[in-house]
Amino acid sequence: KKKVILDCDPGHDDAVAILLAGIAKEIELLGVIAVAGNSYLRNTVRNALILTEMANINVPVFKGSEKPLLRKQIVAPDIHGESGLEGANLPEPTKKVENKNYLEFLAENIYSNPNEITLVAVGPLTNIAKFALNYPDLVPLVKELVIMGGGIEFGNVTPRAEFNIYADPEAAQIIFNAGFNLTVFPLDVTHKAKIYINEIKEMQEFSSEIVSKMGILLEFFHQTYYDVFKIKGAPLHDPCTIAYLINPEIFEYEEYFAQVETKGELTYGETVVDYWHFNKPNSKWALNVNREEFIKILFENLKKYE
């Protein structure tokens, strides 16, 4: 089993990633860290708590960063609603957030399990950048850092920038230069990992309360994607990272050197990818997915919830 710590900003697709990571037999989920992103930190923490509580995923939830490193904060109510997880009325959690600092939680786990911990980050990279700045010696002991973020062909907040990177470009640029064994799931692949409305309706009929609620939540997400982008089918960005840990063979990859633009007027927050390999690669990029297999992995696992 892969030991995984999930850093996220739930968020509809983050929520699916949590449910998938919480049940897959290939994964031992050690904890969830929330970061501000799709909504403010109080909301992403609450959402992480209620999701893990309702799904009976018995892992600690930690409070991460409230604000990006340098830039002015942005959130994404147009996609995820004000609460970050609009569309179904989830109850208030009774589960409590941990008191321990998330950086200590990360450091202790990585120090005591060298080359065994996979970090998955599917929100802005603020928490992980702070970890790399505070514990540079522990970075090489992380087995792999898997992120959802960036785009080679296109962005989704600006023509060139993807949300997770744009929400904290300075943090992302730190990540691309910190020396992680880094795997990236950009928009180029996540927009091929769509879930269609008939599949969302199917999920609503799954027997567990949390998964059928997830289906209702995804209907909201599907609608906002149609309203904002005029596309049919909701891209399941964040669950790609977890599906990759379950079966890497459903994706195709290319290694690239990549940096994040932190100065550009039109390109602030863009992941600048060295297509011709002028420089030695610093990251592996997923570019393609077998969508049918992806949905199969998702549904087989979500059906396991009772």
Site track 155-184 with ligand BDR (rule: CB under 6 A), x = hit = -x-----xxx--------------------
Is the Cβ of residue 76 or residue 110 nearer to Ca ion in the bound state? Answer: 76
282 binds, among ligand BDR, Ca ion, none (CB under 5 to 8 A by kind): none
d(CA 125, CA 157): 16
Under the binding rule (CB under 5 A), the answer on residue 186 touching Ca ion is no
DSSP notation for 149-169: ---SS--SSSSS--HHHHTSH
Cα angle 199, 202, 206 (rounded to 5 degrees) comes to 135
**Least distance in Å: CB of 111 to ligand BDR?**
28
Nearest partner of 165 among 42, 231, 71, judged by Cα: 71
288 vs 16, 113, 142, 184, CA distance in Å?
A: 20, 32, 25, 12
Under the binding rule (CB under 5 A), the answer on residue 14 touching Ca ion is yes
- Given candidates 7, 188, 238, 261, which one binds ligand BDR under the rule CB under 6 A? 238
Question: Residue for token digits 């786990």?
Answer: 109
Under the binding rule (CB under 5 A), the answer on residue 6 touching Ca ion is no
Under the binding rule (CB under 6 A), the answer on residue 76 touching ligand BDR is yes
**Least distance in Å: CB of 292 to ligand BDR?**
22
Q: Which of 12, 80, 191, 237 is catalytic?
A: 237
Among this protein's residues, is 237 annotated catalytic?
Answer: yes
Under the binding rule (CB under 5 A), the answer on residue 86 touching Ca ion is no
H-state helical runs in the chain:
12-23, 41-54, 77-80, 102-112, 126-134, 163-166, 169-176, 187-190, 197-204, 209-229, 239-246, 291-302
Under the binding rule (CB under 6 A), the answer on residue 14 touching ligand BDR is yes
Q: Which residues bind ligand BDR (CB under 6 A)?
A: 11, 13-14, 38, 76, 79, 122-123, 148, 156, 162-164, 237-238
Active-site positions read 237
